[in-house]
Chain A
């Protein structure tokens, strides 16, 4: 299986966990397939299935407090604190997104593309510049998953589930609605392309 790998440089990003109501909003340290899909749909109008991950040691978690205004009622809402990923040191946050290579996708459309990923986009978060495009053919290995992906998309990425850790990712059905769909979370034992693994293992299957 061939994958297209996009290298991204990011200034700061918030990919929220699903806690929406609280005044504290923690941030994920991975780019789930739901987020990747949304980003491509918005920018290219393409329904691309992909998964992403951040390179460790290129980011650190910090908090920001943000005051929200209800535009409809013209009133201020209770401020909330969100955790965000910021670059560690002077370099940018490094991330990669993988999606399955298909004939109908010309990889040149990603050249110099700037995606916006995650939350608080209007405040400048989530700008992710594509700085590298590469075709990779990773070997299938057994290991612990390092990405979050809808369960029913595993086949597409050649991921065989051996022992899953499930959670839920939001699946939009239109611009305002959606539901939570069961997904495979980090730490699941799988057979998958090596690039999706945080640790290669050799357990019996």
Chain B
């Protein structure tokens, strides 16, 4: 059996604890110069072994002049190095932040104590700590049969180990890094033509190169000279899966089941092209020419829209957040950046893939998708016009029904949301904050202020958020899984394998428990991500009578505004930050005990007069009598009394909302 070159093994040396193997005088994390005979270890002979040379290659050197590497595997190493650069969280050209130190475990920008907590649970980053382990490492290079095999075997170590221990590069897990490197390597390999006549050269989109530097070009995005354009370009594409459908009946949410199935199929079919994905978002790395319409055909055939932002750039500057940088530069008319980007033929497109749509439709039109002719259907004496596709979706799969005991009651639909645009912005800011903290701690005698400022700017500009995004998304998925483990008896999942959506019978106690559970899991996974309007993660609650149309709950979920959005149909709509929720829940329960009747009086007043001024005056007048309410409303937040009262109403034991 032919053994394959497994790119994921290139950084296996990063799982070695060198301090435990001092006698082996190991340096770096690759083993190309390791003295196998001295240590009586058999040298690996698999193709993957050549991945160990990825740091030995000088990027300006012609591939034909590379020494030591078997000619058959030179193209693999060539592509591996490019993939490694693309997947790195910070470009290779950025100088390390000397004196900032190293960290043993990975640092998650949204969970600073992650590694420490895992260590306290008895886990440890290193997988290879003894001579025997070292022997095993080389065996692994020889015997691992697939990338998945390696990733699953060493998962527990890979997620704790940083891709690079030096600060501030310690923010990406080795797991995500090598997973991305493997994917990018295989995409490049699949689309690259390897020419071996006379001299070895690699060709992508008709551009032949012999040096890595020629393929990538420089990593410069600004300045006015020595632009050094790369010959190879590729695309990062952010795809948002959307649908025009509005759900008429509860069974119509089967469309989400359909979307999830299609997404699963897509990810399985194009797994190497998919960098990471959520339920409605797919991030792709693609070579020029790979047709998106063909890739998303199944989605389009089922009436979904694909909105995408496509960035095309030289490999030297391509990164997942380059589109933001380009658009910002254009908006602010930054000529030094625009000039370089233009001369490197960098482009950003925003496009929408649509299903085939007729020029005109003779009525009726489908009630659900509103893009196809509808057919008359009759159910429960109600006439509907629904196209075949939407009807098939409605009738397919399991159909969720509200429990009998919920009938005639109020219910709460809720949805978790991860906003990938906010995520990119948040990660950039969180990284900048991290760099600022590190630089603040570096003694100014070691590095002068001017240099510090330059370094800071360079680090911030060079940040590539792709791997961090992937790690964040993994934690988000784990968080909502953990939520359901804790809240399973409390709420129902209308779609069994879809964790973002839930519904429960309304009561103040239930709302309180759901919010407490959300805060608990959020604090477990994202303790250092402020729960505010900038937070990539949010939760929306929509409270209504059980008969309220399902489509309106979904319309509300479409554009979350804050960290927690709450809407009680025809009563109020507010957003809350994490700090506000926690504080309100604590304070209001205290207030309840001391002065609940005054709080009820305020709610009644507000319902009657709808005036914040009136409420304010009432509270101030009773400041001495009910200090708890005065304190809870004015001492800490600039939160409006309306927001506080509304929050208080929904976590009440009694169904106060029914009164409204």
Q: Which stretch of A36-44, A66-74, A112-120, A161-169 is in the interface?
A: A161-169
Task: Report which of A22, A168, A179, A189 forms a contact with B350, defined as CB distance below 8 A.
Answer: A189
Is B67 interfacial (CB-CB < 8 Å)? no
Q: Which residue of A lies closest to B551 (CB)?
A: A26
Is B487 interfacial (CB-CB < 8 Å)? no
Is B288 interfacial (CB-CB < 8 Å)? no
- Contact present for B371 and A19 (CB under 8 Å): no
- Contact present for A181 and B360 (CB under 8 Å): yes
Q: How far is the CB of A180 from chain B (nearest CB, A)?
A: 4
Given the complex, which residues of B lie within 8 Å of A101, measured CB to CB? Answer: none
Bitwise, B300-317 to A at CB < 8 A (1) or not (0) is 000001010100000000
Q: How far is the CB of B229 from chain A (nearest CB, A)?
A: 17
Alpha-carbon distance between A63 and B371 when the two chains are bound, in angstroms: 26
Is B244 interfacial (CB-CB < 8 Å)? yes
Q: Which stretch of B78-86, B141-149, B362-370, B452-460 is in the interface?
A: B362-370
Bitwise, A47-66 to B at CB < 8 A (1) or not (0) is 00000000000000011000
- Contact present for A19 and B248 (CB under 8 Å): yes
Is A23 interfacial (CB-CB < 8 Å)? yes
- Contact present for A167 and B371 (CB under 8 Å): yes
- Contact present for A168 and B371 (CB under 8 Å): yes
Given the complex, which residues of A lie within 8 Å of B309, measured CB to CB? Answer: 203
- Contact present for A24 and B552 (CB under 8 Å): yes
Given the complex, which residues of A lie within 8 Å of B552, measured CB to CB? Answer: 24, 26, 83
Is A45 interfacial (CB-CB < 8 Å)? no
- Contact present for A163 and B352 (CB under 8 Å): yes
Q: Which of B224-271 contact A (CB under 8 A)?
A: 244, 246, 248
Is B447 interfacial (CB-CB < 8 Å)? no
User: How many residues on chain B are close to A (CB under 8 Å)?
Assistant: 38
Q: Which of A1-60 contact B (CB under 8 A)?
A: 17-19, 21-24, 26
Alpha-carbon distance between A19 and B363 when the two chains are bound, in angstroms: 12
| Given the contacts A21-B367, A23-B382, A202 and B330 also touching, CB distance less than 8 Å | yes
Alpha-carbon distance between A81 and B216 when the two chains are bound, in angstroms: 60
Bitwise, B202-239 to A at CB < 8 A (1) or not (0) is 00000000000000000000000000000000000000
Is B343 interfacial (CB-CB < 8 Å)? no
Q: Which of B553-569 contact A (CB under 8 A)?
A: 555, 569
- Contact present for B362 and A179 (CB under 8 Å): yes
Q: How far is the CB of A129 from chain B (nearest CB, A)?
A: 26
- Contact present for A164 and B363 (CB under 8 Å): no
Is A92 interfacial (CB-CB < 8 Å)? no
Given the complex, which residues of B lie within 8 Å of A189, measured CB to CB? Answer: 350-352
Is B634 interfacial (CB-CB < 8 Å)? no
Task: Report which of A17, A182, A201 forms a contact with B246, defined as CB distance below 8 A.
Answer: A17
Alpha-carbon distance between A26 and B358 when the two chains are bound, in angstroms: 24
Bitwise, A167-205 to B at CB < 8 A (1) or not (0) is 110110000001111100001110000000000011110
Alpha-carbon distance between A182 and B365 when the two chains are bound, in angstroms: 12
Q: Looking at chain B's contact residues, is the secondary structure mostly helix, strand, loop, or mixed?
A: mixed
| Given the contacts A168-B371, A189-B352, A26 and B555 also touching, CB distance less than 8 Å | yes
Q: Which residue of A lies closest to B311 (CB)?
A: A204
- Contact present for A202 and B327 (CB under 8 Å): yes
Task: Report which of B350, B365, B555 forms a contact with A163, defined as CB distance below 8 A.
Answer: B350
Alpha-carbon distance between A204 and B350 when the two chains are bound, in angstroms: 8
Given the complex, which residues of A lie within 8 Å of B352, measured CB to CB? Answer: 163-165, 188-189
Is B199 interfacial (CB-CB < 8 Å)? no
- Contact present for A22 and B363 (CB under 8 Å): no
- Contact present for B361 and A179 (CB under 8 Å): yes
- Contact present for B370 and A204 (CB under 8 Å): no
Is B359 interfacial (CB-CB < 8 Å)? yes
Given the complex, which residues of A lie within 8 Å of B305, measured CB to CB? Answer: 165
Task: Report which of B351, B370, B549 forms a contact with A24, defined as CB distance below 8 A.
Answer: B549
| Given the contacts A18-B370, A24-B549, A182 and B360 also touching, CB distance less than 8 Å | yes
Given the complex, which residues of B lie within 8 Å of A24, measured CB to CB? Answer: 549, 551-552
Given the complex, which residues of A lie within 8 Å of B361, measured CB to CB? Answer: 168, 179-180
Task: Report which of B244, B357, B382, B569 forms a contact with A182, defined as CB distance below 8 A.
Answer: B357
- Contact present for A63 and B367 (CB under 8 Å): no
Given the complex, which residues of B lie within 8 Å of A165, measured CB to CB? Answer: 305, 352, 354
Alpha-carbon distance between A81 and B569 when the two chains are bound, in angstroms: 13
Q: Which of B343-357 contact A (CB under 8 A)?
A: 347-352, 354, 357
Given the complex, which residues of B lie within 8 Å of A18, measured CB to CB? Answer: 365, 370
Given the complex, which residues of B lie within 8 Å of A171, measured CB to CB? Answer: 360
Given the complex, which residues of A lie within 8 Å of B331, measured CB to CB? Answer: 202
- Contact present for B570 and A168 (CB under 8 Å): no
Q: How far is the CB of A8 from chain B (nearest CB, A)?
A: 25
Is B383 interfacial (CB-CB < 8 Å)? yes
Alpha-carbon distance between A81 and B365 when the two chains are bound, in angstroms: 20
| Given the contacts A21-B384, A189-B351, A201-B327, A166 and B362 also touching, CB distance less than 8 Å | no
Is B114 interfacial (CB-CB < 8 Å)? no
- Contact present for B367 and A19 (CB under 8 Å): yes
Given the complex, which residues of B lie within 8 Å of A187, measured CB to CB? Answer: 307
Given the complex, which residues of B lie within 8 Å of A78, measured CB to CB? Answer: 382
Bitwise, A73-86 to B at CB < 8 A (1) or not (0) is 00000100101000
Task: Report which of A83, A168, A180, A203 forms a contact with B327, defined as CB distance below 8 A.
Answer: A203
Beyond the given A22-B382, A163-B351, A203-B349, please list 13 additional residue pairs across the A-B interface where CB-CB is below 8 A. A19-B246, A19-B370, A21-B364, A21-B367, A62-B570, A163-B349, A166-B371, A168-B361, A178-B363, A180-B360, A180-B365, A188-B352, A203-B309
The 3 closest A-B pairs by CB, nearest first: A202-B330, A180-B361, A24-B549
List, sorted by A's number, 17 A–B pairs whose CB atoms are closer than 8 Å.
A19-B370, A23-B382, A78-B382, A81-B549, A83-B552, A163-B350, A165-B354, A168-B361, A168-B365, A168-B371, A171-B360, A178-B363, A189-B352, A201-B350, A203-B309, A203-B348, A204-B349
